[in-house]
Amino acid sequence: MAKITFDGIEVEVPDGTTILNAARTIGGGIVPPAMCYYTPLKGSGGKCRACLVRVAAGSAKDPRPMPKLVASCVTPVQDGMVVENTTSEQVLNVRKGIVEMLLINHPLDCPVCDQAGECDLQNFAFEHGVSTTRYEEERRTFEKIDIGPLIQLHMTRCILCYRCVYTADQLTEKRVHGVLGRGDAAEIGTYIENIIDNEFSGNVIDVCPVGALTDKTFRFKQRVWFTKPVNAHRDCENPKCCGKVVLWYKGKDVLRITARKDQYGEVKEWICNTCRFDKKETSDWTIEGPAHIDRSSVISANHYELPVLNAQVIADLPESSVRDLEQNPPMRLGN
């Protein structure tokens, strides 16, 4: 076991635990944000740099501070380590910079994006960002493509967290999509074959932190904040599928089905495509009750913060959200 101090709070965790997971055992507002790390996916993390923290003392043995901020999601704790997150001005400033970087090439199309309302980037920007951008250059754009009949890839929104790649690698036998190209021209793609066809491929939708991979069977049917999430399960024939899902209702209709996420937005048990795409009748399921969507503040608080105010396209906002918007003007990006 290792004892560490995180933002002044002491916590003891098993050796080898990452700083991020140690912080999660404390919970609450001190937990660093994570845009690429995903506990169930081996090898994930370290890329987005959202979770950078300051190590003020490396360990009891060597109490020197670490020279640079470290990615808390991939850095293991040491006994006696002292970590600063929300207590460090430097960390908070750097994080603002990370938000800015992630947004410079991100399309400002939140109002028309399916993910709006449950987008990690939107939350991240809202909670940690600054409200202006200094970016005057042209944004990178890609054509959106269908990867099979069930999933759509809107690459322009991708933040290259690699989660979908690890998911396909670790959940399916034959990964057909990956990261092509490099630098800021890198993209998620399939090169020539363009069908992701596998019983577990749908999970890439759930792991995607932004609206880059979306459920085609749900697209444009409904804004997410109009839907009501309900936990349900069924006896799935597929031995690798847990059969435990969230049904997203509008009235009596199941609009879409997702795996269950924990408070950090992580799916701990995967579901198969049959459960996700083919069982859209209430009669297919045993209903457990309303799902608690904890951390996605945007949904649970029933308010919707647009990173961009774009009046023409948000005409369909519900009354409550409009009121909310008036009271809490969203941040403005762009000039």
Partner 1 sequence: MGRKLLTEHINVEGIDTFEVYRKHGGYRSVEKAVKTMTPDEVVEEVKKSGLRGRGGAGFPTGLKWSFLAKPEGVPRYLVCNADESEPGTFKDRQLMSKLPHLLIEGMITSSYALGANTSYIYIRGELLYVLRILEKAIAEAYAAGFLGKNILGSGYDLDLYVHPGGGAYICGEETALLESLEGKRGNPRNKPPFPAVQGLYARPTVVNNVESIAAVPVIVNDGGDEYAKIGVGKSTGTKLISACGHLNKPGIYEIELGVPVEEFIYSDEYCGGIWKGRDLKAVVAGGSSVPILPKELILKTAAGENRLMTYESLSDGGFVTGTMLGSGGFIAMDETTCIVRNTWNFSRFYHHESCGQCSPCREGTGWLEKILHRLEHGHGNERDIDVLASVAKQIEGNTICPLGEAAAWPVSAAIRHFRDEFEWHVRYPQEATRPGAVFPGKAVLA
Partner 2 sequence: MESTTAPVKPQFSEAAKAEIDRICKQYPEERRKSAMLPVLHIAQAEFGGWVAPEVQDLVAEVLGVKPIEVYEVSTFYTMFNLKPVGKHVLEICRTGPCQLRGSDELTLELERITGAKVGGGPSADGLFTLKEVECLAACGFAPVVQVREKYYEQLDTEASVNAMLSELRTMVHRPALPWEEKGLPNAIANN
Q: How far is the CB of 215 from ligand FES (least distance, A)?
A: 24
Residues 54-83, one symbol each (x = binds ligand FES by CB under 6 A, - = not), give -----------------x-x----------
Residue 69 binds ligand SF4 (CB under 6 A): no
Give me the residue label for tokens 């749900």: 218
Among 151, 168, 171, 212, binds ligand SF4 (CB under 6 A): 212
Catalog residues that contact partner 2 under the rule CB under 8 A.
174-182, 189-193
Q: How far is the CB of 119 from ligand SF4 (least distance, A)?
A: 10
Q: Please identify, using beta-carbon distances, which residue of 4 and 73 lies nearer to ligand FES.
A: 73
The four Cα atoms 100, 101, 104, 108 give a dihedral, to 10 degrees, of -60
Q: Please identify, using beta-carbon distances, which residue of 94 and 195 lies nearer to partner 2.
A: 195
Residue 196 binds ligand SF4 (CB under 6 A): no
Task: Please provide residue 82's backbone torsions phi and psi, each rounded to the nearest 5 degrees.
Answer: -120, 120
With CA atoms as reference, report the closest residue to 45 among 166, 134, 128. 166
Are β-strands 82-84 and 2-6 bridged in parallel, bridged antiparallel, or unpaired?
parallel
Q: Are 114 and 220 in contact (CB under 8 A)?
A: yes
Q: How far is the CB of 210 from ligand FES (least distance, A)?
A: 13
* Crossing angle of helices 89-104 and 120-128, rounded to 10°: 140
Residue 35 binds ligand FES (CB under 6 A): yes
Sequence letter at residue 41? L
Q: How far is the CB of 287 from ligand SF4 (least distance, A)?
A: 29
Q: Looking at the DSSP assignment, which residues form a beta bridge with residue 70?
A: 53
Q: How far is the CB of 276 from ligand FES (least distance, A)?
A: 25
Burial call 129-156: b when 16+ CB within 10 Å, e when fewer: beeebeeeeeeeebeeeebbebbbbbbb
- Interaction partner, residue 160 (partner 2, ligand SF4, ligand FES, none; CB < 5-8 Å by kind): ligand SF4
Q: Please identify, using beta-carbon distances, which residue of 188 and 207 lies nearer to partner 2.
A: 188
- Half-sphere exposure (Cβ direction) of 277: Cα atoms closer than 13 Å: 21
Residues that bind ligand SF4 (CB under 6 A): 158-164, 188, 207-210, 212-213
Q: Which residues bind ligand FES (CB under 6 A)?
A: 34-37, 45-51, 71, 73
